[in-house]
Amino acid sequence: MNQDQSAIASALRAILADHSTQESVIAAEGPGFAEEAWKVLGEGGFASISIPESAGGSGGDLADACVVLHEVGRAAAAVPFAEHTLLAGWALAEAGRALPEGVSTMSTRSSESLSVTAADGGAVLDGVLTRVPWASNAAQIVVLADLDGAAQLIVVPTASVTIEPGRNVALESRDLVRFDKVSVPADAMVAAPASVTAEALELRAALSRAALISGALERVTEVTVRYTAEREQFGRPIARFQAVQRHLVRIAEQSVSAQMAVDAAATNAVTGLDFFDIASAKIVASEAAGIVSAASHQAHGAIGMTKEYELGQLTRRLWSWRDECGSEASWSRRLGAHLAEEGADALWPRITTGLAPERRNEKVAGR
């Protein structure tokens, strides 16, 4: 983490300590959205980190954005940074469009069951998108769709669609959106550049969930270490019992492994998204989410399940984020197929350097 990223993390941690307390996390589970926390992040310029200033953002890169996500995950804040910034904001900025006013969201399932046809210079959208994050809290939904053989980014106001509210396990908004022959004008559309593809969106979404998980894991580690040091049994802290120490070691090693995988993926992604890095980060983080949840609840006993206690809030987010944007099982299958396709000779250099091929070549060339 460089100095700028350390400054972002430090400032965000202080802000979220005031605006994403355990009480406000519970309060946000009703609407599925922490409106006050999101407003504060917007006012501080944190909500648009990684979007170029020329497109209305705060500047920075994808690694900076992952620092934001780490802190958001650590604070269990129900805010749409991933969809608003990493997906919708990024895609529009790549196409030369500024970030619209209000919350934007974007689904990686745009082609799921949605038809888009040309009409009067614009387009008509008809169909359904499921589990769209924060749709009921957004002003517009950005859709990547094929129109007459060309990829288009289409900005659809949420006022023109029907939204059926839904929730994930953490009670964050994951809504069903119905497009009943919704017409959009030509100025709501822009040609998607070559960099904005369904695969790129999928990778960015997976990295966002891995970064959220890494932040939550860090906080679970701290909460569990503190509890086991304070809780006494038979006249001494339970952290001194070997069985509990085994859980603490497991929690710490898994948390650090997830953070390392996310850091490597985020750093390499600054020069270009890399399937190996991001798939690995999502697999490691999602596996760690399950292992750490089990171990931390073992160390806590029954109190970890209560809604009011911080561990319960974090656990439900870990369970949600590990399955969103591809579970560890689905990414493992895809990574295996990817490695088989690259061949055995490419595997060892990849594992030992930890760098994407283009950055490894730069290092070899001494650049």
pLDDT tens string 61-76: 999 999 999 999 999 9
Contact between 155 and 93 under an 8 Å Cβ cutoff? The reply is no
Q: How many domains does the chain have?
A: 3
Of 171, 193, 215, the residue that ends a domain is 193
Q: Return the closest-CA partner of residue 281 out of 337, 225, 321.
A: 321
Of 177, 193, 209, the residue that ends a domain is 193
Helix (H) or strand (E) holding 3: helix 3-19
* 161 and 205, same domain (yes or no): no
d(CA 68, CA 8): 7
Of 46, 79, 112, the residue that ends a domain is 79
What CATH code is carried by the domain that includes residue 36? 1.10.540.10
* 147 and 239, same domain (yes or no): no
The average confidence (pLDDT) of the chain is 91
CA distances from 212 to 48, 228, 324 (A): 16, 25, 11
Q: Is 86 within a domain?
A: no
* 188 and 211, same domain (yes or no): no
Q: Is 211 within a domain?
A: yes
* 219 and 181, same domain (yes or no): no
Q: Return the closest-CA partner of residue 189 out of 129, 124, 128.
A: 124
- Write out the residue range of the structural domain in which residue 143 sits: 102-193
Asked if the model's pLDDT at residue 302 lies above 80, the reply is no
In tens, the pLDDT along 223-245 reads 999 999 999 989 999 999 999 99
Contact between 14 and 27 under an 8 Å Cβ cutoff? The reply is no
Q: Is 88 within a domain?
A: no
Confidence of residue 303 (pLDDT cuts 50, 70, 90): confident
Q: Is 97 within a domain?
A: no
Contact between 110 and 143 under an 8 Å Cβ cutoff? The reply is yes
pLDDT at 357: 56
**DSSP state letters, 67-80:** HHHHHHHHTT----
d(CA 201, CA 58): 21
CA distances from 326 to 32, 195, 249, 323 (A): 21, 21, 27, 6
pLDDT at 78: 95
What CATH code is carried by the domain that includes residue 259? 1.20.140.10
* 219 and 307, same domain (yes or no): yes
> CA angle, 238 as apex, 17 and 314 as ends, to 5°?
30
